[in-house]
Structure 1
Amino acid sequence: MSAYDRLTDQELTTLLKQGDNQAFTAIYHRYKGVLYLHAYKRLQSKEDVNDLIHELFTTLWQKRDELNITQLSGYLYTAVRNRVLDCIARKQTESNYIQAFQQFIDTGEAVADHRIREQQLAAVIEQEIASLPAKMREVFELSRKAHLSHREIAERLDLSELTVKKHVNNALKILRGRLTIILLLISLLSS
């Protein structure tokens, strides 16, 4: 146990504002576990929660001298809650865009210009899928194109269901990031 572990939150906060690395480390170790659990209850995604916690502590360090923290635990819990709400809102927005895009594709009422863009976008999506790592691509295509369940894919490829789920989630995360940028550019160009 280090001397920093015995300090109060207020003492650690004061040292943090002075740029003390060890105080930051003590705060991190004191709160990362409970903040992780707090965020995981809402998000149910280890990757999202790990990213959120990392971002929170990075911001805490980078803005340490600007922060007005009266109660450290309250500040951290509020910051996690706000980031969780932002994450949920972002995912909902992404989902709405994907649903709207899928609905657009399904209606088939697009004019020739839109059909050309749709074909170009479909080609870009296929390129992005093709650029995924081989095993991830194979799992993703079995899930999304062959409509197999995680269990069926796991049995077919002799993988665990958890591995299949990770491959699908990682593929979706990669594709969302790449396609969000592409969709934004297309919408800007068509305006």
Structure 2
Amino acid sequence: MTSYYYLSDGELAERLHLGDHRAFSQIYERFFGVLYKHAFNRFRDQEQAKDVVHELFEDLWMKREHLLINSNLSHYLYTATRNKILKIIAHQNVVTAYATKQSVMIKPDEGLTDHRVRERQLAEIIEKEIQSLPPKMKTAFELSRKHNYTYKEIAEKMDITEQSVRSHVKNALKILRTKFGILIFLVVFFYLFSFF
């Protein structure tokens, strides 16, 4: 019987791709500590660091059939963690900017409930605009921004070239930027990662 402890990263990645639970468990045991330490160094918050790494491993399992990791598993996991951290930091910056702008516009007695109603309404408007994009553009945009697929993964899934995927996502961003303006365009990404 194979001892998963002694398998190389590349062998674990291959077995993960085939849906091997034990390979996934070994990857988790092998990399959780170092990825958690990296996330903690950025956030200085134990729970937030754990959440980021757990979410990364959840994505890893859910997308295992479509991932093209090859032999450099550690590089893939480190990059994926860094990208999640950067999205959270960008999200926090957008939330701060949005909250600052809203605090000027909202009366003190409107309270938190009204703020959340406005957030939900804005999320619905954004989603409606995304749904009105041309079908292929919408699919490419959602796979990229809501599900964090790479252009290569999207190209394979949609059976189109990576260049076509890039064009679809670029055009979708251009349309949304035109409709929402710069500040609201940034807020689009806040809602994409919060509500969808």
SS in 2 for 1:68: coil
Letter in 1 for 2:9: D
Question: 5+ unaligned residues in a row in structure 2: which ranges?
Answer: 126-179, 181-196
Closer, same or farther in 2 for the Cα pair 1:124/1:181, shift >3 Å?
A: closer
Q: Aligned partners of 2:112 and 2:23: how far apart in 1?
A: 51
Once the two structures are superposed, what CA deviation does each residue of 1:10-61 show, in whole Å capped at 9, x if it has no partner?
1111111111000000000100000000111112222221111111001100
Runs of 4+ in structure 1 deviating by more than 3 angstroms, as ranges, are: 179-182, 186-189
Residue 31 of structure 1 is matched in structure 2 by 31
Task: Answer 1 or 2: higher relative contact order, Cα 8 Å, separation at least 6.
Answer: 2
Give the 5 Å matches for 1:125-164.
none
Deviates more, 1:39-48 or 1:49-58: 39-48
Deviates more, 1:42-51 or 1:57-66: 42-51
Once the two structures are superposed, what CA deviation does each residue of 1:150-181 show, in whole Å capped at 9, x if it has no partner?
xxxxxxxxxxxxxxxxxxxxxxxxxxxxx556
Q: Aligned partners of 1:66 and 1:180: how far apart in 2?
A: 36
Closer, same or farther in 2 for the Cα pair 1:67/1:44, shift >3 Å?
A: same
> Could you say what the CA RMSD is over the residues aligned between the two structures, in angstroms?
2.6
Letter in 2 for 1:65: E
Letter in 2 for 1:98: A
Give the 5 Å matches for 1:1-191.
3-70=3-70, 71-105=72-106, 119=109, 121-122=110-111, 124=113, 179-180=115-116, 182-185=118-121
Q: Aligned partners of 1:187 and 1:33: how far apart in 2?
A: 35
Closer, same or farther in 2 for the Cα pair 1:123/1:88, shift >3 Å?
A: closer
Closer, same or farther in 2 for the Cα pair 1:10/1:182, shift >3 Å?
A: same
Residue 152 of structure 2 is matched in structure 1 by none
Task: Report the alpha carbon displacement of residue 123 of structure 1 after superposing the two structures with TM.
Answer: 6.7
Letter in 1 for 2:3: A
Q: Aligned partners of 1:24 and 1:30: how far apart in 2?
A: 10
Closer, same or farther in 2 for the Cα pair 1:50/1:180, shift >3 Å?
A: farther
Contact 1:43 1:88 in 2 (8 A): no
Contact 1:39 1:49 in 2 (8 A): yes
Task: Report the alpha carbon displacement of residue 186 of structure 1 after superposing the two structures with TM.
Answer: 6.2
Aligned length: 124
Once the two structures are superposed, what CA deviation does each residue of 1:64-118 show, in whole Å capped at 9, x if it has no partner?
110000210000000000000000000111111111122334xxxxxxxxx6xx7
Q: Aligned partners of 1:31 and 1:181: how far apart in 2?
A: 40
Question: 5+ unaligned residues in a row in structure 1: which ranges?
Answer: 106-114, 126-178
Between the aligned residues of both structures, percent identity stands at 37
Closer, same or farther in 2 for the Cα pair 1:56/1:188, shift >3 Å?
A: closer
Task: Report the alpha carbon displacement of residue 124 of structure 1 after superposing the two structures with TM.
Answer: 2.4
TM value normalised by structure 2 = 0.56
